[in-house]
Amino acid sequence: MAPSGSRSIEWGCWRVLYWIPVLFIALIVAWSYYAYVLQLCIESIEDTGEKVVYLLVYHVIFIMFVWAYWQTIFSKPMNPLKEFHLSYSDKELLEREDRGESQQEILRRIAKDLPIYTRTNSGAIRFCDRCQLLKPDRCHHCSACDKVNNCVGFSNYKFFMLFLAYSLLYCLFITATDLKYFIKFWLAGGRAHFRLKEYMKGLPDTQAKFHILFLFFSASMFSVSLASLFIYHCWLVCKNRSTLEAVRAPVFRHGTDKNGFSLGFSKNFRQVFGDEVKYWPIPVFSSAADGRQFPSKPLRESQSRLLTSTPSFTESDSAADKDKKGASNLALTIENEA
């Protein structure tokens, strides 16, 4: 086994690597600020009114974009409440049991007063062997999103949505306001009709030409990728699904239900953005739920708590048959998700 010092150094190196995508985005944003504010607005635009309007609108969008990105990166993920953790005696009791059926009985007893309605794909109660706790609904270990170096979960999902929205608006605004001067760049040295060329007057021969050129291309390309990602997450919000649930539907007692947490468009939206409209466009936490317990559709009999979902056996089954079923039935095994 490697010494703890080596592991610390290795972990430190990985943490530095995780920040590279964030630093890359920060450098692109910093360059775009320089190119737009200094090279385009100050150096190239001659009309004072146009220059002032562009700068004012740009800085409003820029501030909201950076604010939302900051909140997405530095908001800490939520952790399960202590009620979901196993006590020391429950841990010992669980470790002594080898049969899946007996382990499930222990977990059902612990879960009877907890708001847990979902199961694993195999039908067992969701249990995390790493953290030694019963996993709350929609809770799982996740990898950090490379764009923000943070887990995107309930605590920062609103910020992530606003980050996508303002970054898309940022790129679209740059593309729209830069288009006229981008055209001037091409006409200045091209073979356009003399009157058209004279009318549009190409930009002066300065480095602003190249900044305006690459600024337009960069903003246009990022707009396409951001638009697709933003539309996809808008669809997830409307359906009240996480990215994991979009790939793998949550499992309830009655079976899988991809719309199990959907409460309708309005309630789904407010669960992320909150009830007060004035806070919707601002990167401050205003979500309606608490991130630890999620309301689902009105509970049917088949969607009752896990405590009532004990396995049944026919009277003709012998004790040996029961033991065999308990050991072999996948629905009775604990799925240790990490």
Read off the tokens for 67: 């604010």
In single-letter form, the type of residue at position 307 comes to L
Say whether pLDDT at 14 is over 90: no
Would you state the pLDDT for residue 253? 77
Say whether pLDDT at 107 is over 90: no
Higher pLDDT, residue 304 or 41: 41
Average pLDDT value over all residues in the chain:
79
Report the pLDDT averaged over residues 70-84. Answer: 88
Say whether pLDDT at 85 is over 70: yes
Say whether pLDDT at 212 is over 70: yes
Confidence band of 187 (pLDDT split at 50, 70, 90)? low
Percent of the chain's residues with pLDDT above 90: 36
Would you state the pLDDT for residue 332? 29
CB atoms within 10 A of CB 272: 20
Per-range mean pLDDT, top range of 139-148, 163-172, 201-210: 163-172
Least confident segment among 98-112, 162-176, 267-281, 288-302:
288-302
Higher pLDDT, residue 191 or 33: 33
Say whether pLDDT at 175 is over 70: yes
Report the pLDDT averaged over residues 116-128. Answer: 85
Say whether pLDDT at 47 is over 80: yes
Confidence band of 211 (pLDDT split at 50, 70, 90)? confident
Confidence band of 57 (pLDDT split at 50, 70, 90)? very high
Candidates 301, 307, 312, 303; CA nearest to 105 is 307
Least confident segment among 51-65, 296-310, 312-326:
312-326
In single-letter form, the type of residue at position 1 comes to M
Report the pLDDT averaged over residues 193-202. Answer: 45
Report the pLDDT averaged over residues 217-232. Answer: 96
Q: How far apart (Å, rounded) are the C-alpha atoms in residues 309 and 266?
A: 32
Read off the tokens for 91: 């841990």
Q: How far apart (Å, rounded) are the C-alpha atoms in residues 167 and 230?
A: 10
The greatest distance separating any two alpha carbons of the chain, rounded to the nearest whole angstrom, comes to 98
Task: For residue 290, give the 3-state DSSP assignment.
Answer: coil
Read off the tokens for 317: 């089954």
DSSP H/E element including 5: helix 4-18
Regarding beta strands 133-134 and 126-128, do their DSSP bridges make them parallel or antiparallel, or are they unpaired? antiparallel
Per-range mean pLDDT, top range of 51-55, 192-196, 205-209, 330-334: 51-55
Say whether pLDDT at 53 is over 80: yes
